[in-house]
């Protein structure tokens, strides 16, 4: 009889059902290794980890194990840019070319920062053919985007999500306005001041802490139609390059792990992601004019206000984005998590701010599973947490 993986960490009194769901994920729901954390009113009330960080060596998940959150990185990317917006150095409705003149090429002079953040800029992918190695160079990717025209395909009307391009544009904006690359800016302005173990690309000294990501049941199969399509638009967005290459070993390659690929390369502990989003949740409900922890209430009112509510015509997914690029629920609902903001990540991770509960939550894991009813891991934890709150 198999021994259930041990659950490590602690929960505050009353949060025992959350621990039970976390243990059930490891035992019954195909989790390999994972961590889950909740901050409420600035206090760490859930801090759990368990399972295996590396299936090849059976190395256990530790308290300080780092995990990639893939597209969950987009929520961290926009938070970094919002710091510059809050300081009056970037305007959401200002053309990108105001800060980055080369971006005006090929008729893009009027494209605004907000359009980029909300996936309405008609720039979901690259026209220049690139490889998996090429995307390790964010400045080269920015040059390619600056030179290309917007999509003319009518399916790009309204909203069109892309796995990479938003991150490259935002990273170049940060570099043009501040002078530092995104990873250095985030470390200096957000991570270090708040003692957050979050990084855009791992430091070489931390590679031993990074969990080895693997593809689980049905994960790659869900992308087959996009990764094999002969439709030119689909090829530009989902095959140039594939966001999830067939060999999951790429996610253990030191070059990939240490590179700045803004939209997918944020990695950290659940504890730190939850703390960041917990601070944002507190900032979102503090009185107007009060000093924020990270971002002002005035800016967050705009950044998390629904701005775009459309179905992506390429992938058929309904999406709602706030004015600052945070992903929102498709419909607000009653309850502590009803007006959550943040960004989910491919394979199952969840990183959110819950303003009504003054809480931040984070679930990270190293086995990626297909989106849908078969993956109940994050949902079970979030539901149990909401029930407690």
Q: Which of 272, 274, 282 is nearest to 41 (CA)?
A: 282
The length of the chain, given as a count of residues: 389
Q: What is the pLDDT, as a whole number, of residue 375?
A: 87
Contacts of 181 (CB under 8 A, 6+ apart): 138, 171, 174, 175, 260
Burial of residue 335 (CB within 10 Å: 0-12, 13-18, 19+) is middle
180-234 pLDDT, tens per residue? 999 999 999 999 999 999 999 999 999 999 999 999 988 999 999 999 999 999 9
Tokens coding 16: 């025992």
In sequence order, which ranges of the chain are alpha helices (DSSP H)? 16-28, 73-86, 113-117, 138-147, 165-178, 182-186, 224-227, 232-238, 254-258, 270-285, 297-303, 377-388
Rounded Cα distance between 44 and 310, Å, is 36
Cβ–Cβ < 8 Å for 25, 17: no
Please tell me the predicted confidence (pLDDT) of residue 4. 77
Residues of the chain with pLDDT under 50: 1
DSSP structure string for 311-361: E-TTT--EEEEETTS-EE-SS--SSTTTT-EE---TTS-EEEEEGGGTEEE
Cβ atoms of 25 and 364 closer than 8 Å: no
So what's the pLDDT on residue 82? Answer: 98
At 133 the pLDDT is 97
Residue 1: the pLDDT is 47
Contact 170, 182 (CB under 8 A): yes
């Amino acid at each position: 009889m198999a021994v259930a993986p041990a659950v490590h960490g602690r929960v505050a009194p009353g949060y025992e059902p959350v621990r039970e769901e976390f243990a059930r994920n490891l035992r019954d729901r195909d989790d390999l290794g994972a961590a889950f954390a909740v901050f409420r009113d600035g206090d760490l009330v859930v801090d759990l980890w368990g399972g295996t960080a590396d299936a090849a060596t059976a190395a256990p998940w530790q308290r300080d194990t780092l995990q990639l959150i893939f597209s969950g990185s987009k929520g961290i990317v926009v938070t970094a840019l919002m710091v510059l917006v809050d300081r009056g150095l970037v305007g959401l409705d200002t053309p990108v070319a105001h800060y980055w003149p080369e971006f005006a090429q090929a008729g893009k002079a009027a494209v605004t920062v907000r359009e980029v953040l909300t996936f309405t800029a008609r720039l979901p992918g690259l026209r220049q053919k690139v490889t998996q190695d090429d995307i390790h160079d964010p400045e080269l990717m920015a040059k390619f985007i600056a030179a290309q025209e917007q999509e003319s395909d009518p399916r790009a009307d309204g909203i069109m999500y892309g796995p990479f391009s938003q991150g490259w544009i935002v990273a170049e904006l940060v570099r043009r306005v501040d002078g530092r690359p995104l990873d250095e800016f985030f470390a200096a302005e957000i991570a270090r001041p708040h003692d957050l173990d979050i990084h855009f690309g791992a430091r070489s000294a931390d590679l031993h802490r990074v969990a080895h990501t693997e593809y689980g049941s049905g994960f790659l199969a869900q992308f087959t139609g996009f990764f094999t399509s002969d439709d030119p638009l689909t090829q530009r967005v989902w095959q140039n390059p594939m966001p999830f290459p067939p060999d999951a070993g790429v996610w253990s390659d030191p070059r990939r792990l240490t590179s700045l690929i803004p939209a997918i390369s944020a990695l950290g502990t659940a504890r730190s992601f939850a703390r960041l989003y917990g601070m944002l949740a507190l900032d979102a409900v503090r009185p107007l004019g009060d000093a924020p922890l990270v971002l002002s209430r005035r800016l967050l009112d705009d950044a998390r206000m629904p701005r775009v509510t459309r179905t992506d015509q390429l992938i058929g997914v309904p999406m709602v984005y706030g004015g600052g690029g945070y992903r929102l629920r498709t419909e607000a609902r009653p309850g502590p998590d009803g007006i959550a903001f943040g960004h989910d990540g491919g394979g199952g991770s969840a990183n959110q701010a819950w303003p009504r509960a003054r809480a931040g939550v984070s679930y990270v894991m190293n086995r990626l599973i297909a989106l849908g009813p078969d993956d109940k891991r994050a949902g079970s934890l979030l539901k149990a947490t909401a029930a407690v709150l």
